[in-house]
Amino acid sequence: MAEEKDKMTRRDFIKAGACGAACFALGAGLGSLGERGAKQDMVWQIDPGKCIQCGNCETHCVLKPSAVKCVHAFGVCGYCERCFGFFAAKPAEYTSGAENELCPAAALTRKHVKGQYHEYTVDEEKCIACGRCVKGCRVQGNSSLFLQVRHDRCLNCSQCSIAEACPSHAFVRVPASTPYIRPKIKPSDAQPRDKAS
């Protein structure tokens, strides 16, 4: 008779199995919510200090055109007459003509402001994230042009395909509350301007 008390009935077995399945489902659900919350709290971004303008942002993003766009920090721009982010190497002349421009998508526009000063603006709808303008600005300018992931476009994939292809490991996870990284510009790189007066 004591043996019969130790035996589990079919009903007890089913009840224990259902309870175990419910606990497992609850644990998986909470884990999924935790993962989703972590994903929403962190987003992908490019560290301008590590970026080498390799061109992978243009070709490896799951979106076409890429969610990465060129950004212009107007506060540190020299408003140069001969911007090396705008003009191709050894242009025929320093005028706004496709044959003279570095950008293959004509996403960087040039407007005369005053004297030798010109303002350069990025048309993000046209930008393909090739990084040519950024590379030119970094080599001969003060790095006022840089690449950034635009979060209104980015899918925030759990594993970014550009991040996997980035040779300099410039793609990093940053808090969603502060999703953009500004380049670190030395005070000597910021040029005084008299563009508006």
pLDDT tens-digit readout, 136-164: 998 877 889 999 999 999 999 989 999 99
- Report yes or no on 184 lying in a domain: no
CB-based contact 118:111 (threshold 8 Å): yes
The mean of the pLDDT values for the chain is 82
Query: Is pLDDT above 60 for 46?
Result: yes
pTM: 0.71
As to burial, measured by CB atoms within 10 angstroms (0-12 exposed, 13-18 middle, 19+ buried), residue 33 is: exposed
- Report yes or no on 193 lying in a domain: no
- Total domain count, the chain: 2
For residues 114 and 31, membership in a common domain is answered with no
For residues 60 and 129, membership in a common domain is answered with yes
- Report yes or no on 197 lying in a domain: no
Cα(6)–Cα(61) distance, rounded to whole angstroms? 61
- Report yes or no on 186 lying in a domain: no
- Report yes or no on 168 lying in a domain: yes
pLDDT tens-digit readout, 105-144: 999 999 999 999 999 999 999 999 999 999 999 887 788 9
- Report yes or no on 121 lying in a domain: yes
For residues 29 and 47, membership in a common domain is answered with no
Distances in Å between the Cα of 162 and the Cα atoms of 93, 124, 155 are 36, 18, 12
For residues 28 and 87, membership in a common domain is answered with no
For residues 33 and 64, membership in a common domain is answered with no
Q: pLDDT tier at 40 (50, 70, 90 boundaries)?
A: low
Query: Is pLDDT above 50 for 193?
Result: no
- Report yes or no on 123 lying in a domain: yes
- Report yes or no on 143 lying in a domain: yes
Give the model's pLDDT for residue 197.
Answer: 33
